[in-house]
Amino acid sequence: MTQSDPNSAPQAPSLAPNGLSSGLAAVPEPSPELLQRAAAVRRSALALGQRDDGARRAAVLAMAEALEAHRESILEANQQDLAAAAAADLAPALVARLGLNGTKLEDAIAGVRAVAALADPLGRRQLHTELDAGLVLERRTVPLGVLGVIFEARPDAVMQIASLAIRSGNGALLKGGREASTSCAAIHAALRQGLAASAVEPTCLELLTSREESLALLRLDGLVDLIIPRGSNALVRFIQDNTRIPVLGHADGLCHFYVDRAADLEQALRLAIDSKTQYPAACNAIETLLLHGAIAAPFLALALPAFAASGVELRGDAAACALGVARAASAADWGTEYSDLILNVKVVDDLEGALAQIGRYGSRHTEAICTADQATADRFLAAVDSAGVFWNCSTRFADGNRYGFGAELGISTQTLPPRGPVGLEGLVTYRYLLRGEGHTVADYASGAREFSHRSLPL
């Protein structure tokens, strides 16, 4: 989901993510036992959502302390998972994500403490209107309720999401990958022990363990308010296709970088290399470079050796190939998220040509322009319909932490908010509170009374 999350790497098992095997006929109905557990989480979460800032902050710190206290048992559990992974001959990339060592665990615990320090997202007044004398409307932020979180192998993600959930007043049903099941159970036990020492009920965090449960989670409409998948594109897409619950997360990151005729070519090259190579598996890495025809030749003269030195394979259209790009891009390449050191190169006539290519193949994630011309930049910023539209900087900045959100839950490429990198605000919603003195609508329908609709201070 995030560029710092190796789960978005293409090495993840693509059609059987998290035990959600392909060939699945249908998502099963939740068992009565699961419904009961989910309802219990919901009840606890309702109480949690009414706790004040200090109580929720203290609960997250108690979770961090319990993780520290259970450090050895967590690392030991992780060793068991690693041994099983070795026996099962798991892919090295998966093993790397699965493994926890002292440093990784300490980093994760520091992350939990950092979540405690985030500003409270709850109780913010977003709207305040006097509808009529004595009839006052407020809109205040409240928790979503219950999150359904599905991870692939990474056990450290459990700590992060659980702490974000509690900080924002939400309960969570957590389902880790099969490979990490022993680690997840140890972490979950520690987190609940931490909550038991706080004012928040431990039953706010529930761990799902079986494949059936993680599938049935998708059917818990009314009990779960948001599904957060942390894993491969295949996992995200599977979930989106099999639930009516809103899903936070995108399946595609097909980003473009456009070098305008008025670009500083040295700067453009540095930015393109950063956008492609700084973390190629990230969703905000670029897949296609668009070159204005007027600068394609001098840019490629500079760029070909630089990309070669960075290990980037280029695939060009006919014009780019004529200028020295060695391999021709296939029709499918323009729509492929490589998540690897491969980059398409296309020569376009002008800004319109770049916009057309982006409109056709982009995934509305992040696109950037490099130009010294303000008017061209402004047109690009206004015309590109992506969550992030950048000028003279790397697409790799599209990230909740770099944006200053303090945390990132995922990046959304759907158009409706939350869009782009989502911080804590993605875990809250709002409620309208209306306080009256016996006001009836009949009085307004009859004309006996009239609305004032006067804005009050927030």
Site string for a second copy, 386-415 (x = CB under 8 A): xxxxxxxxx-xxx---xxx---------xx
Separation CA 411–CA 397 (nearest Å): 12
Under the binding rule (CB under 8 A), the answer on residue 439 touching a second copy is: yes
Separation CA 117–CA 111 (nearest Å): 10
Neighbours of 60 (CB within 10 A): 27
Among the listed ranges 185-193, 205-213, 270-278, 335-343, the one in contact with a second copy (CB under 8 A) is: 270-278
Q: Is residue 127 within a helix (H) or strand (E), and if so which, with residue range?
A: strand 125-132
Under the binding rule (CB under 8 A), the answer on residue 46 touching a second copy is: yes
Task: List the one residue from 33, 89, 437, 450 that touches a second copy (CB under 8 A).
Answer: 437
Task: List the one residue from 274, 287, 317, 408 that touches a second copy (CB under 8 A).
Answer: 274
* Residue ranges in 298-357 that form contacts with a second copy under rule CB under 8 A: none
Is 30 in contact with 224 (CB distance < 8 Å)? no
Under the binding rule (CB under 8 A), the answer on residue 451 touching a second copy is: yes
Task: List the one residue from 246, 324, 335, 353 that touches a second copy (CB under 8 A).
Answer: 246
DSSP result, 135-197: EEEEEEEEE--EEEEEE-S-THHHHHHHHHHHHTT-EEEEE--GGGHHHHHHHHHHHHHHHHT
Report, in Å, the least distance between residue 328 CB and a second copy: 27
Under the binding rule (CB under 8 A), the answer on residue 201 touching a second copy is: no
Report, in Å, the least distance between residue 67 CB and a second copy: 27
320: Cβ–Cβ under 8 A, 6 or more apart, which residues?
Answer: 291, 296, 300, 314, 345, 346, 347
Determine the longest span between alpha carbons in the chain, in angstroms.
79
Taking the least distance from each CB to a second copy, the nearer of 322 and 434 is 434
Under the binding rule (CB under 8 A), the answer on residue 253 touching a second copy is: no
DSSP result, 38-103: HHHHHHHHHHHTTS-HHHHHHHHHHHHHHHHHTHHHHHHHHHHHHHHHHHTT--HHHHHHH---HH
Residue whose structure tokens are 């090259």: 269
Taking the least distance from each CB to a second copy, the nearer of 181 and 363 is 363
Distance from the Cα of residue 328 to its chain's centroid: 33
Neighbours of 250 (CB within 10 A): 24
Taking the least distance from each CB to a second copy, the nearer of 339 and 386 is 386
Among the listed ranges 84-92, 199-207, 273-281, 346-354, the one in contact with a second copy (CB under 8 A) is: 273-281
Distance from the Cα of residue 4 to its chain's centroid: 11
Report, in Å, the least distance between residue 126 CB and a second copy: 10
Under the binding rule (CB under 8 A), the answer on residue 54 touching a second copy is: no
Is 454 in contact with 130 (CB distance < 8 Å)? yes
Under the binding rule (CB under 8 A), the answer on residue 383 touching a second copy is: yes
* Residue ranges in 87-116 that form contacts with a second copy under rule CB under 8 A: none
- Tell me which residues touch a second copy (CB under 8 A): 43, 46, 49-50, 129, 131, 135, 137, 142, 144-145, 225-226, 240-241, 244, 246, 264, 267, 270-271, 274, 278-279, 359, 377, 381-383, 385-394, 396-398, 402-404, 414-417, 419-421, 429-442, 444-445, 451, 453
